[in-house]
Amino acid sequence: MLLSSINMLLRDEEFDTLESLCSYFDREVSEVLQILLDEGYEYDEKNRHFRPILNS
C-alpha cells in the first residue's frame, strides 16, 4: 500500500520529487528508500517511481 501511494502521489504530480513528498510527510528520504528496498523495490529517479528490483 505504501508503494502504490507513493507512486500515485509522484505520478499524479502531487509532488515533483521524492524529496518534496518525504518533506511533506516529515520523513527522511533514506528511510523511505530503505523500507522499499527491504521490500524489493528501487527508486527510478528519472521516471519518478519505485519499481521491482530485477535480478539478473
- C-alpha distances out from residue 7 to 50, 56, Å: 7, 24
Report the distance separating Cα 56 and Cα 9, nearest Å.
30
15: left (phi over 0), alpha (psi -120 to 50) or beta: beta
- The arithmetic mean of pLDDT across residues 4-24, rounded, is 94
Domain containing 32: what range? 2-46
pLDDT, residue 56, reads 58
Q: Which three cell numbers stand for residue 42?
A: 528501487
- 7-11, 23-27, 43-47, 52-56: the lowest-pLDDT one: 52-56
For residue 56, is it within any domain?
A: no
What's the pLDDT band for 55 if we cut at 50, 70, 90? confident
pLDDT, residue 24, reads 97
For residue 10, is it within any domain?
A: yes
pLDDT, residue 38, reads 96
3-state class (DSSP) for residue 47: coil
For residue 39, is it within any domain?
A: yes
Residue for grid cell 528511510: 31
Looking at the DSSP assignment, which residues form a beta bridge with residue 41?
Answer: 52
